[in-house]
């Protein structure tokens, strides 16, 4: 008799329906087991007394009141959710507040100033709403004068809503308001825009986002606003922004943003705002920080066209 070989056994299985069915069932069970093992979720449960249990979560037997796990040594365990230590839920709200003051008095020449900045953010898994505002005021009085002179009175406010479309792509709607009461033309500027953004870099320490979309810009106010063709007119255009949020460790946080807007008025009238903030946390805690903030504005529709500012502040952060 010819001995059985692998080829002859395969022929018998293929020719025999019971054998073929047995082979298919065996293969299906093996695939199912492999799939279940690949999707097994390993969890660590913290009990009220501080003990920890680590095992494989049996999702089909677990619900809101009981968690069922397969422990490597103790086997199947059913733990009541009421016996687990509740995990602290992180608040979706975060923000910061910072203040700075300066002053001098020499030869009866007096000057004083102050800056303030506020930022707040509400963030969930797919949505983020952020608001930030800052103001800067400086006054002076020279020797022999009886009234104070306002040297600086400017600030801005930013409101931005972002919704994640996928892990990288997002849609946004934003409003940016800038003011400088000393401008001859355009003491107030409001830019509204909507569009799409993408996180070109997104890690635990670094986020770089690029966004762009159509915009609508309005300019008003100023001693010579009535004689300017740009004041009181809504100008359509386009807006683009690049932003960096870098936190290399618990002691430093760098925020950099560059906002470009092109309004259409007898051609493209550009404006650009570059700003940066370096926060230093001396003791590694968010309760206290020193902030170095700089900002440069160029707007071809205002007079003057360029505005630079710099401030040093001390503040606190919460989240």
Whether residue 177 sits in one domain with residue 51? no
Instruction: Report residue 40's pLDDT band, with 50, 70 and 90 as the boundaries.
Output: low
Whether residue 111 sits in one domain with residue 72? no
CB 215 within 8 A of CB 240: no
167: pLDDT strictly greater than 60: yes
Whether residue 199 sits in one domain with residue 144? yes
Number of structural domains (the chain) is 2
| CATH number of the structural domain spanning residue 80 | 2.30.30
| CATH number of the structural domain spanning residue 278 | 2.40.160.40
Whether residue 264 sits in one domain with residue 247? yes
The verdict on residue 246 lying in a domain is yes
The verdict on residue 257 lying in a domain is yes
303: pLDDT strictly greater than 80: yes
Instruction: Report residue 253's pLDDT band, with 50, 70 and 90 as the boundaries.
Output: very high
**Over the stretch 87-145, which tens digit does the pLDDT of each residue have?**
767 789 999 999 999 887 776 778 899 999 999 999 998 999 999 999 999 999 888 78
Give me the domain span that covers residue 199. Answer: 93-318
Query: Residue 314: what pLDDT?
Result: 97
**Over the stretch 175-189, which tens digit does the pLDDT of each residue have?**
999 999 999 999 999
Whether residue 294 sits in one domain with residue 164? yes
Instruction: Report residue 74's pLDDT band, with 50, 70 and 90 as the boundaries.
Output: confident
Tokens 């969890």 appear where? 43
pLDDT-above-70 percentage for the chain: 87
CB 191 within 8 A of CB 172: no
Q: Compare 144 and 62 and report the one with higher pLDDT.
A: 62
The verdict on residue 16 lying in a domain is no
Whether residue 99 sits in one domain with residue 48? no
The verdict on residue 305 lying in a domain is yes
CB 156 within 8 A of CB 274: no
Whether residue 274 sits in one domain with residue 130? yes
Q: Compare 107 and 48 and report the one with higher pLDDT.
A: 48
Whether residue 303 sits in one domain with residue 179? yes
> What is the rounded distance in angstroms from the CA atom of residue 258 to the CA atom of residue 210?
10
The verdict on residue 151 lying in a domain is yes
The verdict on residue 20 lying in a domain is no
Instruction: Report residue 287's pLDDT band, with 50, 70 and 90 as the boundaries.
Output: confident
**Over the stretch 207-239, which tens digit does the pLDDT of each residue have?**
999 999 999 999 999 999 988 888 988 999 999
- The mean pLDDT value of the chain amounts to 86
Whether residue 117 sits in one domain with residue 60? no
Whether residue 164 sits in one domain with residue 198? yes
The verdict on residue 193 lying in a domain is yes
Query: Residue 153: what pLDDT?
Result: 95
């Amino acid at each position: 008799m010819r001995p059985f070989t692998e080829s002859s056994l395969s022929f018998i299985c293929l020719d025999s329906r019971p054998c073929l069915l047995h082979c298919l069932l065996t293969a299906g069970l093996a695939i199912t087991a492999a799939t279940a093992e690949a999707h097994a979720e390993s969890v660590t449960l913290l009990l009220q007394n501080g003990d920890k249990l680590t095992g494989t979560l049996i999702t089909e037997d677990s619900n809101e009141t009981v968690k069922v796990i397969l422990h490597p040594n103790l086997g199947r365990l059913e733990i009541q959710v009421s016996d687990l230590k509740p995990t602290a839920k992180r608040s979706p709200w975060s923000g910061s507040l910072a203040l700075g003051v300066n002053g001098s008095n020499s030869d009866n020449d007096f000057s004083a100033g102050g800056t303030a900045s506020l930022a707040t953010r509400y963030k969930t898994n797919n949505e983020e709403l952020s608001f930030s505002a800052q103001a800067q005021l400086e006054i002076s009085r020279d020797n022999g004068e009886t009234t104070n002179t306002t040297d600086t009175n400017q600030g801005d406010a930013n409101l931005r809503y972002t919704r994640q479309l996928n892990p990288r792509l997002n849609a946004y709607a934003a409003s940016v308001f800038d003011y400088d009461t000393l401008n001859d033309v355009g003491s107030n500027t409001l830019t509204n825009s909507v569009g799409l953004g993408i996180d070109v870099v997104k890690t635990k320490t670094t986020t770089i986002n690029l966004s762009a979309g159509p915009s609508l810009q309005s300019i008003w106010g100023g001693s010579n606003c009535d004689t300017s063709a740009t004041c009181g007119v809504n100008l359509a255009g386009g807006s683009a922004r690049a932003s960096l949020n870098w936190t290399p460790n618990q002691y430093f946080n760098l925020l950099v943003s560059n906002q470009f807007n092109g309004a259409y008025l007898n051609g493209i009238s550009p404006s650009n705002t570059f700003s940066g903030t370096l926060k230093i946390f001396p003791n590694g805690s968010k309760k206290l920080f020193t902030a170095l903030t700089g900002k440069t504005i160029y707007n071809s529709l205002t007079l003057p066209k360029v505005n630079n500012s710099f401030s040093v502040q001390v503040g606190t952060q919460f989240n």
